Amino acid sequence: MRPGRKAHKPVIFTPHEECGVFGIYGHPEASNLAYLGLHGLQHRGQEGAGICTSDGKQLHVEKAIGLVSDNFTEKRLKRLPGYAAIGHNRYSTAGVSAMKNVQPIVVNFSLGSMAIAHNGNLINADQLRILLEDEGAIFQSSSDSEVIVHLTAHSRGESIHQRIISALNQVRGAYSLLILLEKELIAVRDPFGVRPLSIGEHDGAYVVASETCAFDLIGAKYIRDIDPGEMVIINEKGVQSVRALNSTQKAQCIFEFIYFSRPDSNIFGGINVNKVRKDLGRQLAREAGIDADLVIPVPDSGMPAAIGYSEESGIPFDLGLIRNHYVGRTFIEPKQSIRHFGVKLKLNPVRDLLEGKRIIAVDDSIVRGTTSKKIVKMLREGGAKEVHMRISSPRTIGPCFYGIDTPTRQELIASSHLTEEIRKYMTADSLAYLSIEGLQSVVPDPDNYCYACFNNFYPISFPDERLHQMELFSA
């Protein structure tokens, strides 16, 4: 520590960020296609969006708070000339919600200009931030992604590629990363391959995206996944692959299949998300079957699993809960006489369908349990005779530090309550989760996934185990 410098506050892990990234190189309408790509990835982040383009000489950037379609008008996109672009949808789970945290982050340094877009979470970002600040670095945001920028700028590597590799060898955690320079696009995936990242081709241009649903929207053809630890360099010479980081173990996020990725995407080696979710429902029916009249999904994430459960069990499927897809923030709160107002804004039961029926309600997961409790009550008020909750994933007992928004361990109801206790809290007639073994029987190569939220085994080691335990048990 420098003489006279105040002691740092205790390190608290940086905000987790569920985000979507999209990049394109070699197309005259790069900004327009980046806009469409981000629109296809909107489910991965709704807080803010940004696009940065290159015309071969300089970078141009536009950022906004809110949805892509609400902010990127034709006029705004015209301010983004060039044949290469990267875009980012931000979903912050903590910290300040501000324009300064919207990506791509754009900087100028000794080797030129650079823009960076990052999906994931770095578990040693706070420690690195302290070291960099002691070296004189000045941070403009609270995003852990900015740490990568400073590490790159501080590196003594001769080329930008060497500097990026040097920086990434110092960080730990999850990252699917896009970097735009004046004359090239770089994509990197962390050595564990936690977050998905794929490369495709469209009209002679190369595209990179968090999920293949973004390719489908613009008519791009999927080529392959970017491998864990791989750096892909795209420029006027074509595509170059560099094994930049040593990858010995995969830890792909299993929750991408359960909830986060869009059902029409193919991730982690071209595996269709919708098929996996239906298979999870089938396995759930085999493990936790019960006599009932109707299987209904909790919209929308419970839909494929409910279909699979119905097909396996032979119990009819129908939509007993209807979702309002146009719910935004509301600043008008009703009196207490309107029960379960927050849930009713999003869901409404179909009384004619539920009346007198024994219902199996299928959802993808239970986190705090409060929403599930309200759904059970809503179904009963809608006329259901019995309500049996079935969850197409195991009990969520551990928080995620690699980029999925889960609360602290203390807030996860399954971390401190038995299944029967949760059932009583929810007032359901029965409750059953999919087993971890059942989950692993559905996905190909089950050893290649991270199950930390279900078994508390974190494959990417933490920089300080004491800090890890503090975070695990903090309120």
121 φ, ψ to 5°?
A: -155, 135
Cα–Cα distance measured from residue 270 to residue 197, given in angstroms and rounded to the nearest whole number: 11
Determine which one of 19, 213, 253, 450 is catalytic.
19
Scan for tokens 């300040």, then name that residue. Answer: 96
Phi-psi region of 363 (alpha: psi -120 to 50; beta: other; left: phi over 0): beta
Q: Hey, how many other C-beta atoms are within 10 angstroms of the C-beta on 344? A: 15
Contacts of 202 (CB under 8 A, 6+ apart): 24, 27, 33, 215, 218, 219, 220, 221
Active site residue 400: no
Strand partners of residue 92: 17
Cα–Cα distance measured from residue 348 to residue 336, given in angstroms and rounded to the nearest whole number: 18
The token pair at 275 is 């098929």
Strand partners of residue 170: none
- Which residue stretches of 370-446 are H helix? 370-381, 419-426, 436-442
Cα–Cα distance measured from residue 412 to residue 415, given in angstroms and rounded to the nearest whole number: 6
Q: Hey, how many other C-beta atoms are within 10 angstroms of the C-beta on 371? A: 18
Contacts of 16 (CB under 8 A, 6+ apart): 93, 94, 121, 400, 401, 402, 403, 404, 405, 406
The token pair at 400 is 């995620």
Cα–Cα distance measured from residue 386 to residue 320, given in angstroms and rounded to the nearest whole number: 13
Cα–Cα distance measured from residue 451 to residue 255, given in angstroms and rounded to the nearest whole number: 8
Cα–Cα distance measured from residue 427 to residue 181, given in angstroms and rounded to the nearest whole number: 56
Scan for tokens 């789970």, then name that residue. Answer: 93
- Axis-axis angle for helices 370-381, 419-426 (nearest 10): 50
C-alpha 194, offset from chain centre: 10
Cα–Cα distance measured from residue 143 to residue 121, given in angstroms and rounded to the nearest whole number: 9
The token pair at 350 is 């179909």
Look up residue 308 and give its DSSP letter: H
Burial 141-179 (b: 16+ CB within 10 A, else e): bbbbbbbbbbbbbbbeeeebbebbbbbbeebbbbbbbbb
Active site residues: 19
